[in-house]
Amino acid sequence: MTFDGLAYTGTPHDRAASLRTDPGWVDAQLCHDDTRVVPMWRDRTLLTATGQPAVLTAGPGRAVVAAAGQTVLLGLDGTAATFAVDLSEVEEAEVLRLAAADTSTDLRALAATLSGPLAATLAYARGMLHWHRHTRYCGSCGTPTSSAHAGHLRVCDGRDCGRQIFPRLEPAVIVLVESPDPEPRCLLARHHGAGPDRFSLLAGFVEIGEGLEGAVRREVAEEAGVTVDRVTYRGSQGWPFPAGLMVGFHARAVDETIAVDGAELQEARWFTRAEVVERIVTGPGSGPVDSIGGRLLRSWAGLDGA
């Protein structure tokens, strides 16, 4: 069984890959009255006086586009286009005025209050705009790069280079490790910098030359000293904070030996299902969950959807 309805993943747009390469078509979309504009400021979502994310149309949207440092076509909903615009180079007070907004906030703080499609749209916008701000220079020759294909490509301006740079993802695995004991128990760890009772699942980036299952086995062994055999895929989640793809797994430990590395982890231990339920319902694991890690843990505890 895999997970459905994970936050930030179900973008509703037709990304218009065959159309966005035409600058004339893109410019025409920006002039339509039904075009929607999603403004963002330094990776933060802008909120109106009613607490809703600012999404602009017609006149106000064009004023925001004119002030933006970067514009990205997110896609089409029917015939209506949606663009994300980055106002990071403008002072916050002016940004709020232009967008008719009251404040700015981190997207994850809104996850529990947004519809799935809107959360996914805002995450998509955040990830793309962050990528543009951090890809202003060519990694091969150091020359500035320019935006192309409605924001889905950057091209090196170097006369002898011209490298094409596409948005990149950073794949990572996250895993619920279950003990081989007859009584079900799962492995949770406390990372350096986490509070004294802040335990979570193990996760890590996939390295060059390894598959996803191999990354699971390596991360669990390196960080917790636990050997796992069976590794089962459970689902994946786009995680543009700033550019992740989280791939979730369930794994079975060979034995209960734990030997934390002392670098990534402070400690790790086995938790019973009852202990996990208590943590989720009343303890430090309570509250809204927007990550696949939370879904993995809730599912194992029998609280999926809680």
* Mean of the per-residue pLDDT values of the chain: 94
Kindly provide the b/e burial profile for residues 169-188, where b requires at least 16 CB atoms within 10 angstroms of the residue's own CB: eebbbbbbbbbeeeeebbbb
The CA dihedral of 85, 90, 96, 100, to the nearest 10 degrees, is -50
Q: Model-level pTM?
A: 0.93
In this predicted structure, what is the pLDDT of residue 1? 54
In this predicted structure, what is the pLDDT of residue 193? 86
pLDDT tens digits, residue range 101-142? 999 999 999 988 999 999 999 999 999 999 999 999 999 999
pLDDT tens digits, residue range 93-102? 999 999 999 9
d(CA 26, CA 63): 17
In this predicted structure, what is the pLDDT of residue 288? 66
Residue 287 has pLDDT above 70, yes or no: no
pLDDT tens digits, residue range 157-181? 999 999 999 999 999 999 999 999 8
Amino acid at 195: G
Q: Whose structure tokens read 């035409």?
A: 22
In this predicted structure, what is the pLDDT of residue 2? 67
